[in-house]
Amino acid sequence: MSLFDWFANRRKSGSPVSEGQEREIADGLWTKCESCSALTYTKDLRSNQMVCLECNHHMRVTSEQRIQQMIDADTWVAIDEGLRPTDPLKFRDRKAYSDRLRDAQEKTHLSDAVQTGIGQIEGAPIALGVMDFRFMGGSMGSVVGEKLTRLIERGTQQRLPVVIVCASGGARMQEGMLSLMQMAKVSGALQRHRSNRLLYIPVLTHPTAGGVTASFAMLGDIILAEPKATIAFAGRRVVEQTLREKLPDDFQTSEYLLTHGFIDAIVPRTQLKKTLAQLVRLHQPTLRQTPKGTQIPGIKTLTTVPE
Amino acid sequence: MANSSDRRPILLDFEKPLAELETRIIQIRELAEENEVDVSDQIHLLEERAVQLRQEIFSSLTPLQQLQVARHPRRPSTLDYVQAISDDWMELHGDRGGHDDPAMVGGVARIDGRPVVIVGQQKGRDTKDNVYRNFGMASPSGYRKAMRLMEHASQFDMPIITFIDTAGAFPGLVGEQEGQGEAIAYNLREMFRLEVPIICTVIGEGGSGGALGIGVGDRLMMFEHSVYTVISPEGCASILWRDAAKAPQAAEALKITAQDLKTLGILDEILPEPIGGAHSDPLKTAETLKAAIVRHLAELDQLTSEQRCDLRYQKFRSFGVFIEAGMMPAR
Ligand SMILES: [Zn+2]
C-alpha cells in the first residue's frame, strides 16, 4: 500500500549539530525536532507529550506513551495481550514475514501493532485501542483486526464508548486477503456497537492510510485528528502518478480533511484527553427531565434520575 | 455479448503454443483441400491434441497468469452478465449527491422470476468505453451510488447481487477530496446492517478495498480464473521487493487465486469456467453464475433476516489467523 511513501517522504534532519550534542541526542538526553531542528531536553518534551515547544510539531509517540497520556493513572487494564501473530501464508519477500515479526517484536516489546484495554478518562470508563506505527508501520493483520474487534465487542457488551487512536500505513500485505478482511470484520463490530447507540471516536494521527482509512478510521460518530497528520486512502505518490502533476502542499493532511468535511476537529495532543473526556460526558446517556405539567395523558414519562 | 466488431481472439502469451497448433490445423486443412487429399485422421489427432493442450494450459496457470485471464479484455463484464442472467432489467443512475459514476453500475432486475438489485463495477469493452468507465475504478460517488441502490433493495425487500470486477478504487485527486476512504468504510459497515440476502461474486479482478466496498455479504463466490487480492502484485512487488518486475513472485506469495481463498476459508464457492476462460464461452459461464445465485438465494431464504445478519457477522468475525497464548492456532 502506501507505507513506501511514508518512508520515502520522511523528513531528513536539517542543521548541523555539535559532536557533543550528537552524543547527547544519541543518549536520549536531547531530542531534535524533525520539523524545525530545535533541540529540546527530552524530559521537557515528554512533559509536553512529545509536541515540539518551538514549532508545535507532533512527534511520534509509542502506544505505551499514548496510553499514559490519555488514561487516568492506575486505571488501565490491558486486554487480549495473549494474541500473537503467525505467518499463515508463509510469506517471504526479500525477508521472511516470520523474521520481520520477530524483529518488530524485539524492537517494540509488543506482540503486534495495537494495544487494547479498558481505562478511565477523567473518571469515565472507555474501551481504548492504540495503534503503534513502530510495529511494521502499524499495519493491520489478523491480530490487529482481532484485538480491535474484541475491544469493540467488549465496548458493546459493557456499554462503553470506544476510542481508537489510528496510526497505520494500511493493510498488512504479508497476510494477504486475511488482512483485507480485517477491514470488514472491524467495521462489522462497529455496526453492532453503533446499533446499540454507543459512541465511537477514532483519533487520526500521523499517518493514517490505506485500509485503515477505508474502514474504522472513517467510521467515527465523531472523528478527531492531530494537527498536520497525513490522512489518506491512496498514497500521495500513487495519486501523483495518476495525475502526473504536483499536488497542493496540504493535500491529505488533517487540515485538508477538515476543510473537505471528513473530520470534526483538529485537536492538539496536549488537549486530546480533555477533549475526549468532554465528548464522552456530552454523550453520556441521561434520562431527560420532564418539565412539570407537560405530561401527555396516556403516555408514561421517565422519572428524573439525578446524575 | 461484448459488442466489439473485431472478433479476432486476443491471445495471452501463455496461449501461444495453442494458437500455433490451431494455425497449423488450418494450414493443413487448406493444403489438403487444394491438393484434394484426405487428412481427416491427422486433423482429428491434432484437434484432440489442441483440446488436451488447452486443458493442460488452463489447469496449471500460475497466479500471475490467472490475473491475466481475470483482466482479459474480452472477459464478460457486469453488464454482460446482467443481460445474460436477468429476464428483466433497468439500470438506475446517480448517487443523489451530484454524481453518476459510470465505473459502478446498478439497477433492478428479475432473475428466475425474482426481483433483485444488482450492483457491480463496470470495466470498458473497448478503449473508448474504458476511458468512460475509468477502467472500472470507481470514485467515492460510485460507492455511494452502490450504497444508495443497496438501500433501495433493503427498502423493497429485494436481495442484493454484487459483481466485483475492479483493479481497485480510483486513486486520484478527486477521490481523495471526496472521501474514497469514507465511502468504502461506510459501505463495509452498512452492508452488515442490511437485512436482505447479499450474494457477492468476483467475476474478474478483485482489487483490495475497492472490491471489498461492495463485497460484504452472506455468500462470496469467485469464478475459477478470477483473483482477489489485498494489493496488486505489481504494487506489492514495488513496495516489498522494491522491484515491480518481481510481480510474479508477489502474485504467488499473496495467495490471490480462487483456490487459495477457498483454502483460507474466505470463499464459499468456486464457479467453474469453460476451458479457455469465461470469455471463450460467456453464455455458458453466465448460466453457471445464474444457477449458483438462484441456489444460494434459495438457501438464504430459509433463514430469518436476523439469522442472516447474525451469520454474516459470524462469517467475517471468523476471518484471521493468530495464536492465542495457551491455545492452538485459531482461525
Ligand atoms: Zn519543532
Q: Residue ranges of the domains in chain B?
A: 13-60, 67-317
Cα–ligand 1 centroid distance for A54 (angstroms): 5
**Nearest C-alpha in A relative to B180:** A233
Give the pLDDT score at B81: 98
**Pairwise CA distance, residues A167 & B66, whole Å:** 34
Give pLDDT, residue B328.
Answer: 57
Percent of chain A scored above 70 by pLDDT? 87
Q: Does residue A165 register a pLDDT over 60?
A: yes
Question: Same domain, yes or no, for A103 and A214?
Answer: yes
What's the pLDDT tens digit per position in A48-86?
A: 999 999 999 999 999 999 999 999 999 999 999 999 999
Report if residue A275 sits inside a domain: yes
Write the CB contacts of B187 (distance below 8 Å, at least 6 apart in sequence).
Answer: B143, B146, B147, B150, B213, B214, B216
pLDDT band at B7 (very low <50, low <70, confident <90, very high): low
A94 contacts in B (CB within 8 Å)? 240-242
A35 and A71 housed in the same domain: no
**Count of structural domains, chain A:** 2
Name the B residues in 109-168 with CB < 8 Å from any A CB: none
Q: What is the pLDDT of residues B31-75, one digit of tens each?
A: 888 888 888 888 888 889 988 999 999 999 999 999 999 999 999
pTM of the full structure: 0.91
Do residue A91 and residue A52 come from a single domain? Answer: no
Of B194, B107, B118, whose CA–CA distance to B157 is shortest? B194
Q: Which residue, B11, B161, B157, is CA-closest to B72? A: B11
Given A33, A59, A85, the domain boundary residue is A59
- At A145, is the secondary structure helix, strand, or coil? helix
Residue A307 in domain: no
Q: How far apart are CA B204 and CA B71, in angstroms?
A: 6
A40 and A137 inside one domain: no
pLDDT digit string, tens, across residues B214-231: 999 999 999 999 999 999
Residue A15 has pLDDT above 50, yes or no: no
Q: Which chain B residue has its CA at the smallest distance from A153's CA?
A: B317
Indicate whether A76 and A12 sit together in one domain.
no
Q: Are A225 and A115 members of one domain?
A: yes
What CATH number is given for B67-317 in this structure? Answer: 3.90.226.10
CATH number of the domain residue A228 falls in: 3.90.226.10
Structural domain harbouring A163: 61-301
Question: A37 with A124, same domain?
Answer: no
Are A124 and A167 within one domain?
yes
Q: Are residues A138 and A26 in the same domain?
A: no
Residue bearing cell 488537549: A271
Average pLDDT score, chain A: 89
Q: A279 to chain B, minimum CA–CA distance in Å?
A: 22
Whether residue A1 is contained in a domain is answered as no
Confirm whether A269 is domain-assigned: yes
User: pLDDT grade, residue B189 (50/70/90)?
Assistant: very high
pLDDT of the residue at A285 = 72
Write out chain B residues lying below 8 Å of A188, CB-based.
Answer: 188-189, 192, 216, 312-313, 316-317
3-state DSSP helix/strand/coil % of chain B, to nearest 5: 50, 15, 35
Residue A51 lies in a domain: yes
Same domain, A27 and A81: no
A127 and A12 in one domain?
no
Q: Decide if A44 is inside a domain.
A: yes
A22 and A160 in a single domain? The answer is no
The ipTM (two decimal places) reads 0.93
